[in-house]
Homo-oligomer: A and B are copies of this chain.
């Protein structure tokens, strides 16, 4: 029997308890032995809840109990999670976490510490909720050089964009609907400004390229400026708009960003709607693969956490190798990256100046937008785009495109 402790009895923590209760036979078979929750750390008491007798308020009880071999950290936030996780590893306990802030900021260091102690630091649930993506990146796509990762990494924004697209709504109305359904927080900034996706693409990039990608280095743009007109234009181009966390390797340089992108309707990511997430990965020999599923929610996220617990049990005493090291990866200047751009500039009849700046482009016309000129460029360096667009006119909106 393996005794574990769960830190935090919130959405994910209660999900972990429920998953272990619901599927205990299956899980114990998979793990090769019985997994038993001995403690749950929370500030609250949960009187009357069946877990009440396992609740402790003092982390030291867990830390000092040598019976506890695995600590499940599902509190979220960098502190006190970091202090707790680090001391768990120092005390010879493996850690499974769903905490993307913690993993993005301290992943490399905690992996190194786990390796040193022949323990494991696992974080399948930190990206894509229930979608298996961390383990496949770490253990399956090992024959490839990863050249491109594009992820719909945030369910809230994907719901909002799906709703805007399906019903022709503006951003504020779709956001309100998402809040009413509990998909978006009252303060939706972390989601709609792309901060959540930014941490996730930082984690995926670090795992894919084997070095520490600092999320602060990733240019991040949310979806608050996306209008229903932008989406209507996209439809005219047989495309749609998704918030994409992207990192790609070009001639040895790695470029990363989070931004709304126009994707062709034939792109596999365009079939990913509402709160679903998906991660599209290109390998130099494998070609394209995509992982799709529920990116959030108590049970899907808990399923991923528990799969980590099973892995930690199976690998007791041996460290599961990861190539993510503490050395910092210097991202290339995003201004040097090439993209196509969908652009709307003020004023009708700008076709000639657009062509003289960008050569052949695809113009798009919306019937009720006669006072502007909209077009899709060919692939162009971002810095060249910046210098050329000034000559054309005042930009209403500009969105990267992947066609």
Chain A residues close to B by CB (< 8 Å): 15, 18-19, 22-23, 26-27, 29-32, 124, 130-132, 135-136, 139-145, 210, 268, 270-272, 283-294, 297, 299-300, 302-307, 309-311, 314, 318, 321, 323
Are the C-beta atoms of A143 and B286 separated by less than 8 Å? no
In the complex, what residues of B have CB within 8 A of residue A139's CB? 135, 139, 307, 311
Are the C-beta atoms of A284 and B22 separated by less than 8 Å? yes
Are the C-beta atoms of B27 and A142 separated by less than 8 Å? yes
Query: Apart from A26-B144, A140-B304, what 4 extra A-B contacts exist at CB < 8 Å?
Result: A135-B139, A136-B140, A287-B297, A291-B291
Bound Cα distance A323, B287 (Å): 30
Could you tell me the distance in whole angstroms from the C-beta of A272 to the nearest C-beta in chain B? 8
Bound Cα distance A388, B306 (Å): 46
Bound Cα distance A294, B141 (Å): 13
In the complex, what residues of B have CB within 8 A of residue A311's CB? 139, 142
Are the C-beta atoms of B289 and A144 separated by less than 8 Å? no
Are the C-beta atoms of A283 and B271 separated by less than 8 Å? no
In the complex, what residues of B have CB within 8 A of residue A143's CB? 19, 23, 26-27, 30, 302-307, 309-310
In the complex, what residues of B have CB within 8 A of residue A287's CB? 130, 293-294, 297, 299-300
In the complex, what residues of B have CB within 8 A of residue A302's CB? 143, 285
This chain: copies in complex: 2
The 6 closest A-B pairs by CB, nearest first: A143-B306, A271-B271, A289-B293, A132-B140, A290-B292, A30-B142
Mind listing 12 A-B residue pairs with CB under 8 Å?
A: A23-B284, A27-B142, A30-B142, A130-B283, A130-B286, A140-B304, A143-B302, A143-B304, A285-B300, A285-B303, A288-B294, A290-B293
Are the C-beta atoms of B145 and A141 separated by less than 8 Å? no
In the complex, what residues of B have CB within 8 A of residue A300's CB? 285-287
In the complex, what residues of B have CB within 8 A of residue A305's CB? 143
Bound Cα distance A210, B210 (Å): 34
Smallest Cβ-Cβ distance to A135: which chain B residue? B140
Are the C-beta atoms of A141 and B307 separated by less than 8 Å? yes
Smallest Cβ-Cβ distance to A210: which chain B residue? B29
Bound Cα distance A395, B300 (Å): 43
Bound Cα distance A285, B30 (Å): 16
Are the C-beta atoms of B286 and A293 separated by less than 8 Å? yes
Bound Cα distance A136, B140 (Å): 9
Bound Cα distance A288, B292 (Å): 8
In the complex, what residues of B have CB within 8 A of residue A304's CB? 140, 143, 286
Bound Cα distance A318, B319 (Å): 13
Task: Indicate whether A285 sits within 8 Å of B22 (C-beta atoms), given known contacts A143-B307, A321-B32.
Answer: yes
Bound Cα distance A300, B289 (Å): 10
Bound Cα distance A362, B216 (Å): 54
Our pick among B30, B32, B144, B291 for the contact of A303 (Cβ within 8 Å) is B144
Could you tell me the distance in whole angstroms from the C-beta of A112 to the nearest C-beta in chain B? 15
Are the C-beta atoms of B285 and A19 separated by less than 8 Å? yes
Our pick among B19, B131, B268 for the contact of A271 (Cβ within 8 Å) is B268
